[in-house]
Amino acid sequence: MDNQLVKQPNNSNGIQKALKIAVAKGDGIGPEIMDATLKILEAAGARIEPEFIEVGEKVYLSGNTAGITKESWETIHNNKIILKAPITTPQGKGYKSLNVTMRKSLGLFANVRPVAAMHPYIKTNFPEMDVVIIRENEEDLYAGIEHQQTEDVVQCLKLITRPGCEKIVRYAFEYAKAYNRKKVTCMVKDNIMKLTDGLFHKVFDEIAVEYPDIKSETQIIDIGSARLAARPEDYDVVVTSNLYGDIISDIAAEIAGSVGMAGSANVGTKVSMFEAIHGSAPDIAGKNMANPSGLINAAVMMLSHVGQTKVADKIRNAWLRTLEDGIHTADIYQDDISKMKVGTDDFADEVIARLGLTPEKLPVSELSKGSGEINIPEYKRTPQKKELVGVDVFLDWQGTDPNEIGNGLMHIDAYKLKLKMITNRGVKVFPEGMKETYCTDHWRCRFVALDADAKSAEPVYQAINFEQIVDLLAKLNMKGFDVIKTENLYEFDGKRGFSLGQGE
Ligand code: NAD
């Protein structure tokens, strides 16, 4: 079943009704830039009805560590669209980031950040740049699953899921199609992380073939981000996982010079949130100095997301024309280019005065020329045959000679399961390790049941059952080995579901 992200409600005559949206005025400059933005939305004829919600500093300081009231959650659940001004998270322990809470609990899987040069009104070395970074928002290293395992070693789990990859990659192609973008670039590091980043890449290739009119390419994240920084005009839509996306979206905004002007969307299949990239700027709060452009651009994204692309274009074009006419707030004022320095409120009035006009030099916004429609199909799991073939047992051992622990483990007699190798930080140290390899107190010992009669060059594994693993662990424990964790080894449809050790 297709799932269009947000449907604009119709009344009985088929005419679009005003869409109720949850609006958070935020802290610091938040209320000023929100008032300016809402004024423009109203003047442009946006069919929205704001319902204000309480989030941020006041809520935190009232003793609510999440920074959001129960009533605000209800409004969000009912309205499904949030326009949010920046908030101030009070310093000190115990306050949870509202953005992270919203992202995780509302399933906002895609962070969308369009970054376009506004040359010469905003200084940049890349006047042709016009990139949209689409970052996966819910998984990867940000799951927050971290453990200290030994005195020397801590670990963080990188979780990449097929439904997560399918949603974000599909969103990137649907976005490109909906807004007439020509190319989607996938950035991964699957030369190293063959399973996790490999899955992202594989899903990208699977979905790309469904969009023959959109060019697709994959780049390794290190060279990809270097090229993005050197030649951003070569990129159109970039899709990537959470951590890489976090980094490259800041690189992109920085080199475009537009951190203060960019809006972003956090999109989910049920709820979506739109906001400026910048923070609450307490240093200039209440002074009518703040630039409302970031929030205006976030509102433009919101309108196109809910299908009001014509109004979105009208606002974006009036805003571009205001910049071109040299009407600038203090943060972007330049003596040689600017003509008039204005405050937040006057800037909004100047944009309103230009509604209906288009820019003469900067690229005209044409969101309404695309379909604007984004469909994310529901995830369907393909059943696979899963077979247990071994176990990686992680030991805390403070010795230094891998042969000592290796020879000790070789003599453990657990039905079918035999020690195949030991790695330390992923490098094989037993059997036949190199004496130069530095070893910590964290030893990964791989026990598998190999089919000794198999003729293939690749190891052929025999199926085992979980009781055999329990038996092995009991024996290790009895012999005094300090087991800190285990990782089962599976084959899925006969394919190895685990990476080999370096040198295995
Ligand atoms: P900031 O973005 O608020 O300010 C950095 C600098 O940019 C300041 O000099 C500020 O005056 C200026 N600036 C920012 N937005 C501007 C605008 N629209 N017009 C003119 N100048 C502007 O970053 P910060 O100082 O690191 O953070 C301040 C607060 O904002 C902190 O409490 C932080 O937690 C919060 N914050 C919130 C969000 C959010 O709600 N999404 C995002 C980032 C930071």
* DSSP codes of every residue in 66-85: TSB-HHHHHHHHHH-EEEE-
Protein residue with its CA nearest to atom 24 in ligand 1: 279
**Atom number, ligand 1, closest to the C-alpha of residue 275:** 41
Instruction: Give the number of C-alpha atoms closer than 13 A to the C-alpha of residue 494, restricted to the C-beta side.
Output: 1
Protein residue with its CA nearest to atom 30 in ligand 1: 279
Per-residue pLDDT tens, the chain, 504 aa: give them: 344 555 555 555 555 679 999 999 999 999 999 999 999 999 999 999 999 999 999 999 999 999 999 999 999 999 999 999 999 988 877 888 898 889 889 999 999 999 999 999 988 999 999 999 999 999 999 888 999 999 999 999 999 999 999 999 999 999 999 999 999 999 999 999 999 999 999 999 999 999 999 999 999 999 999 999 999 999 999 999 999 999 999 999 999 987 779 999 999 999 999 999 999 999 999 999 999 999 999 999 999 999 999 999 999 999 999 999 999 999 999 999 999 999 999 999 999 999 999 999 999 999 999 888 899 999 999 999 999 999 999 999 999 999 999 999 998 878 889 999 999 999 999 999 898 999 999 999 999 998 878 777 788 899 999 999 999 999 999 999 999 999 999 999 999 999 998 777
Q: How far is the CA of 291 from the centre of ligand 1 (A)?
A: 11
Q: Is 364 helix (H, G, I), strand (E, B) or coil?
A: coil
**Atom number, ligand 1, closest to the C-alpha of residue 294:** 18
Q: How far is the CA of 468 from the centre of ligand 1 (A)?
A: 56
Q: How far is the CA of 292 from the centre of ligand 1 (A)?
A: 12
| 354 Cβ neighbours under 8 A, 6+ residues apart | 317, 318, 319, 321, 322, 325
Helices (H), 107-241: 162-178, 196-208, 221-230
Distance (Å, whole) CA 494 – CA 182: 38
pLDDT of residue 293: 97
Q: How far is the CA of 304 from the centre of ligand 1 (A)?
A: 25
Q: How far is the CA of 281 from the centre of ligand 1 (A)?
A: 4
Protein residue with its CA nearest to atom 12 in ligand 1: 281
Pocket around ligand 1: residues whose beta carbon is below 6 Å from it? Answer: 29, 86-89, 99, 260, 275, 278-284, 290-291, 294, 331
Pocket residue to mutate for ligand 1, from 280, 287, 297, 332, most atoms within 8 A of Cβ:
280
Torsion of CA 10, 14, 15, 21, to 10 degrees: 10
pLDDT of residue 6: 53
DSSP 10: B
Torsion of CA 319, 320, 325, 329, to 10 degrees: 60
Q: How far is the CA of 282 from the centre of ligand 1 (A)?
A: 7
Q: CB 310: neighbour CB atoms within 10 A?
A: 15
Protein residue with its CA nearest to atom 36 in ligand 1: 279
Q: Which two tokens stand for residue 423?
A: 């790695």
Least Cα distance to 8 among 80, 113, 76, 82 occurs for 80
Protein residue with its CA nearest to atom 32 in ligand 1: 88
Q: Report the predicted TM-score, pTM, of the whole model to 2 decimal places.
A: 0.92
Distance (Å, whole) CA 102 – CA 448: 43
Pocket residue to mutate for ligand 1, from 278, 284, 296, 347, most atoms within 8 A of Cβ:
278
Q: How far is the CA of 487 from the centre of ligand 1 (A)?
A: 43
**Atom number, ligand 1, closest to the C-alpha of residue 85:** 40
pLDDT of residue 222: 97
**Atom number, ligand 1, closest to the C-alpha of residue 87:** 40
Handedness of CA 258, 262, 267, 273 (dihedral sign): positive
Q: How far is the CA of 315 from the centre of ligand 1 (A)?
A: 24
Protein residue with its CA nearest to atom 8 in ligand 1: 281
Q: How far is the CA of 277 from the centre of ligand 1 (A)?
A: 8
